[in-house]
Each structure stands twice: as structure tokens, then as C-alpha cells.
Amino acid sequence: MALFTDGPISSAKDLQEYEASVLTDANAEGIDVVAKVALAQQDLANELILFLLRRASLRDYQPDVRRSRGLADVVVTDALRQWHIHKTLAMVYRDAYNNQLNDRYQGKWNEYEELAKGSSRTYFQLGVGVVADPIPRATTPELTSVPGNSAGATFYVVATWVNSTGQEGAPSAYAQLSTSAGEVLAVVLTGIPPQNAVGWNAYVGASPSAVTRQNDNPMGIGTSWIMSGGLISGASLTMGQKPAWFIVDHRVIERG
């Protein structure tokens, strides 16, 4: 699972699964859906911070630590994503109604506003999932080709950061490269690594749905993975860290 701070919780595609006409309606009314996604996430962030500060306990961080860390250790669960989708749709149709005072938009605005309130209650009842050692999503890896014994092919690659306990963060976006005969694929994960990262993993495949881990052990920060021979059938791509515990009111429910 991704972390709250890894990026947008939901996408335009997620919104369409709940409301098929949302992009058409937004375009007709000149509404920036991407901006609404970001604004809704900021609203959720404010409510989450207030919730966690009110419920600081021995298992959660003390208020000053929580303020410093923010939401970097909060995991995006299905319930949190649903709340975000409902909140975003409410914002879109609120603006659409205010543009035209159209009763159809008002009905959708009211509907999603109520759904957002309900999904918010459900989320906090299920609990805010947090991790002890959060490892963020990796940036998109850089792909190059180097001389080697290969017939050439097209490769898809994603990368993950790894912390000291072997947990992986959410996978990066896909990168793609086609090599020619006499070339092999080389992958490096650039950018400033997280402070708690001890290495990274490379997942490579001939299609986005077929990527598997190509290194047995995490590779050192700054080192490259270079294909030697063919691809191996390694571990399947993971989707990030799972919550270590859930914060529900004044109680902590262990996972497992």
C-alpha cells in the first residue's frame, strides 16, 4: 500500500468508477479535476492530523513528534481512498452547481457530500493504519543500454526503496526502454534516497503486468542493475507497506 505522502490517493479513473460522467461534467464547467483531487487530499490531511493529535498515545507519537512527522507514516487503505473519492466528487459538483445553479449538479453535490461524511466515519471506525518505519515511493528509475550479448527487446521497469527490515515502499511509475542487438538493459534509481533506505529493488519484465524482481538482495544505493543473460522469474511486484497497527479512537487494534 502507498503512503499518504506518496502522491494523489485516487485518480480520475477512480472518480469515473463512482461517477461515469464526472470528467465530462467537469470539462463542460471548466473545472480542474486534478486540482480538486489535490484540494480534497489536503482537506483529508487536516482532519487526519487533528484526529491523530487528539489520540496521541504510547503507541502513537507524542504531539510534537506527530506534528514534525505529519502523515508520512499513514498508509492509504481502501477506506481512506473511498473517503477521498467521495470528497473529491463533492468538490467537483459543488463547483459545477455554483457555476450554473443547476439542480442536477446540486443533487450530485449533496449526494457525494453525504457519502463523504459516511465514508469518513467508516474510515475512522476501521482505524488509521500506520507503519513504524515508513519508506516512501521510489522515483521513476533511469534506463540505459550498455554493450552486451542480447538480441534486443522492449523492457518495462519499476523500482522500490527498501528499509532496514526488508520492507519495500510503493513501486515507482513504470519506465520503458527498447534495446537493440548487442545491447543489454541497465537500470539505476537516482534522486535523493530516503534517510532510512538501505537499498533498492528492480522489477523488470516484457510487459507491465509481467515484471518480477531481478535481484536476490537489495542493491546498494547508487549502484546499477545490469541484465546478465535473460530475465529471471523472481518475486512478484509488491504494492508497498501494510499497516503495522491501526489507531481507532483511544484504542490500538493490532494487525493480524
Q: Detail the DSSP E strand segments found in the chain.
A: 128-130, 142-147, 154-163, 175-178, 183-188, 197-205, 212-213, 224-226, 245-248, 251-254
Question: Of the candidates 159, 144, 138, which has an alpha carbon nearest to the alpha carbon of residue 201?
Answer: 159
pLDDT tens per residue across span 40-60 = 999 999 999 999 888 765 455
Spell out the per-residue pLDDT of the chain, length 256, in tens: 999 999 999 999 999 999 999 999 999 999 999 999 999 999 999 999 999 888 765 455 567 777 778 899 999 999 999 999 999 999 999 999 998 788 889 999 999 999 999 999 999 999 999 999 999 999 999 999 999 988 889 999 999 999 999 999 999 999 999 999 999 999 999 889 999 999 999 999 999 999 999 999 999 999 999 998 889 999 999 999 999 999 986 554 555 4
| Residues 167 and 135: beta-carbon distance below 8 Å | yes
pLDDT tens per residue across span 230-240 = 899 999 999 99
Please state, in angstroms and rounded to a whole number, the distance separating the CA atoms of residues 140 and 238.
16
H helix intervals, 55-77: 63-69
What residue type is 163 in one-letter code?
N
Instruction: Specify the pLDDT at position 58.
Output: 46
Instruction: Specify the pLDDT at position 176.
Output: 98
Please state, in angstroms and rounded to a whole number, the distance separating the CA atoms of residues 213 and 201.
7
> Is the overall model pTM greater than 0.75, yes or no?
yes
pLDDT tens per residue across span 212-223 = 999 999 999 999
- Which residues contact residue 139 at a Cβ distance below 8 angstroms, ignoring those fewer than 6 apart? 159, 172, 189, 190, 191
